[in-house]
Amino acid sequence: MPRFSPCGENRIGLRHKVRAPPMSFPLRQRLREGNPVEFGATYDGSGVNFAVFSANATAVDICLFDQDGKTETDRIRLPEYTDQVFHGWIPDLHPGQLYGLRVHGAYEPEAGHRFNPNKLLLDPYARGHLGNLEWNPALFGYQLGHPDLDLSFDEQDSAPFIPKCIIPPPSERKNKPLKIRWSDTVIYETHVKGFTQNNPLVPDNLRGTYAGLCHHSVLDYIKSLGVSSIELLPIQSFVNPQSLIEKGLTNYWGYNTIGFFSPDTRYAANHTDPAAEFREMVARYHDANLEVIMDVVYNHTAEGNELGPTLSFKGLDNASYYRLIPDNFRYYINDTGTGNTFNLNTLHVIQFVADSLRYWAEEMGVDGFRFDLGSILAREKNGFDRQAGFLRVCRQDPTLAHLKLIAEPWDIGPGGYQVGNFPPSWAEWNDQFRDTVRDFWRGEARAAALAPRILGSPDLFNHSGRQAWASVNFITAHDGFTLKDCVSYNNKHNDTNGEDGKDGSDNNRSCNYGTEGPTDDKSINALRWRQCRNMLATLLFSQGTPMLLAGDEFGRTQNGNNNAYCQDNDISWVNWKTEEEGESLKTFTQRMLSLRKRFPILRRSRFLTEAYNKELDIKELTWISANGMEMMQEEWDHAQCFGLMLDGRAQPSGIRQRGEDATLFMVLNSWTDSVEFTLPEADGGAWKLLLDTNRPNAGDDIEKDIFEQKIDFTVTDRSVLLFELLRS
């Protein structure tokens, strides 16, 4: 790939000179070289240091704007170039000053270069943006409608239509991550706007904002559930695609990032300082002993493919920031399905991503990250590599190594499905848990399939010293049906998305139990609510790290839409007007989370084993059939009702000694009829019923809920039971 030295204008650059306002005399007289190590704009009390990476540009201009961002008031060319970084120190600039970049170089798309100084660019390291992107032909580096498409060159100035970067105040380091143990972690996935937009307890002016999300009523509610961590859908500055705007829709989920250091102003009550508001939100969560995890998108940007706009990286150094087709640099590798793929094989791009992550951790106090399409971050030239450069950086970095790092371990690229293959210290979304649990409760899977999922999926994760918490178990997430919809619809209903029902998965593994959507049939509704309880109980009583989707605890619905990415409305917003059964489900969820916290045997870090431990004279776990005896091999492939006994004396760590936890016995019956189940014999006293999904209040009666060993217990159809072994 051709490289260009920053020693003058290229052929096309000379032909298309950009008229600039004259540089003011005081600035020209006092301009200094600055330093190349502090990327972005750094205020030092008397001026600002700028540093911009580009391996292929010939020059970089800093463009200053007035307070409303409408008029360019000055343009200063960075005077020095060191180690592929343009840099300079400009006097008399202060926090709050608006700026953008213009970058000079070759416009040769077939060689991978798309420099066009007519396009104002966002600084990748900008801590904040003012204004919103306005779609206009001037945003594109080529002439829309030209027969040569992106090979043409556009001379329109894009500055009026693009947000302006804001010089930030000196760094603040107020918050420190909580460092809640993985074994104590329960994740609650939600959306900043959607969680509070319809919440009557949040003041109107704070709904849908960072400030609203940390309102005391919200914090009290989340604490009352018993979760430990919230996971926020993307909040880094993102772009609403023109195609959605034309349909009257929006990019609600936010997976279209353009500002990786900037909190999106859409979610700020105070638009003048979103960063301060976000930082305060994190601090309030920490005060409540709750973690904040960010869903981040470092696999692609909002600039799309060769026909997309030029907003930042494409105009800064297209050939460095993006993965291009090896034998045709005009086109982009599209392992993301969005048009482009960030190039994590380039040293400076890895540094950029690591710098961004450290910023959110060190200056904002964020406790961890969930990486969208995480397999891309570990894809080297020869495919997925557990020793990829980015993964090595995360593991050795003194800040990142101590955070919660969660991969979505799949993408659409070659070898993209990598569940269980990330290296030690990483956790991963486990879609096999989701699919198997859904299948089991709708009668399409048997005990043999569900058993390893209950144990933290050791078949996938028990290697390289990884522990059970590495499996992030979930039944629902933002992408797909909600829990209530999973038991109410056989098919997706995405008509309002404007894609003729072609979007969203057709593999929902759901069941409507006789009627599609809402019904007045009491028997169907009763079964649906019980199935919700069954799936939640399976999730919360399994080894691994559970993740709940916000609103599932009381039966939130999206009316059958399983791809609500573009629905910034009541379809996606949490409806806090819950029905009576929903309130009952919420209470039941709180109870299950309380039991999970009360009994450490339900959340062990070590993988439990069914092998007999001769030294300690125990079996950590035993699978039980309906006759109360250990399951026989021939029963596994057809059993729909089975039990699991977890011995509280199981070795809790690598130290060879017995544990002192309670012994628990769980029964799962997905069969459509009741089963007479013999309670197993164990080393202790009677069995105390703690929970029965068929009877939400079961376990409250101290006398009636005590059962002797080896007696028959009627397990209702489609239900989960949990017993505690009382000490003799």
pTM score, whole prediction = 0.95
Question: 150, 273, 280, 372: which is the annotated catalytic residue?
Answer: 372
How many other C-beta atoms can be found within 10 angstroms of the C-beta atom of residue 584? 17
List Cα–Cα distances, 498 to 42, 489, 563, 566, in angstroms: 44, 20, 11, 10
Between CA 657 and CA 637 the distance in angstroms is 34
Residue-wise pLDDT tens digits, 51-65: 999 999 999 999 999
pLDDT in the model for residue 53: 98
Helices (H), 141-228: 192-196, 210-213, 216-225
Is the pLDDT at 431 greater than 70? The verdict is yes
**What's the 3-state SS for 83-134?**
CCEEEEEEECCCCCCEEEEEEECCEEHHHCEECCCCCCECCCCCCCEECCCC
pLDDT in the model for residue 622: 97
**CB-based contact 315:301 (threshold 8 Å):** no
Contacts of 702 (CB under 8 A, 6+ apart): none
Q: What is the mean pLDDT of residues 556-560?
A: 98
Q: Regarding predicted confidence, which is higher, 27 or 380?
A: 380
Q: What is the DSSP string of 484-518?
A: HHHTT-SS---GGGSSTT-SS-S------TTSSS-
What percent of the chain stands above pLDDT 90?
Answer: 90
pLDDT in the model for residue 654: 87
pLDDT in the model for residue 175: 75
pLDDT in the model for residue 17: 52
Active site residue 516: no
Q: What is the mean pLDDT of the chain?
A: 94
pLDDT in the model for residue 382: 86
Is the pLDDT at 1 greater than 50? The verdict is no
Question: 61, 280, 408, 692: which is the annotated catalytic residue?
Answer: 408
Is the pLDDT at 318 greater than 50? The verdict is yes
DSSP-derived pairing of the beta strands 59-65 and 72-77:
antiparallel
177 pLDDT band, cuts 50/70/90, is confident
Q: What is the mean pLDDT of residues 284-307?
A: 98
Tokens 């640099």 map to which residue?
Answer: 329
User: In this structure, what is the dihedral angle of CA atoms 90, 95, 100, 104, given to the nearest 10 degrees?
Assistant: 20
Between CA 443 and CA 728 the distance in angstroms is 38
pLDDT in the model for residue 22: 54
**CB-based contact 679:687 (threshold 8 Å):** yes
pLDDT in the model for residue 6: 42
Tokens 């028990």 map to which residue?
Answer: 462
Q: What is the mean pLDDT of residues 165-191?
A: 90
Active site residue 408: yes
Between CA 9 and CA 5 the distance in angstroms is 10
What percent of the chain stands above pLDDT 70?
Answer: 95
Is the pLDDT at 336 greater than 50? The verdict is yes
Q: What is the mean pLDDT of residues 241-268?
A: 97
30 pLDDT band, cuts 50/70/90, is confident
Q: Could you give the angle at the alpha carbon of 290 between the alpha carbons of 284 and 295, nearest 5°?
A: 95
Between CA 251 and CA 256 the distance in angstroms is 8
DSSP-derived pairing of the beta strands 719-725 and 664-669:
antiparallel
Which residue, among 533, 484, 570, has the nearest Cα to 669 in the 3D structure?
A: 533
DSSP 630: B
Is the pLDDT at 8 greater than 50? The verdict is no
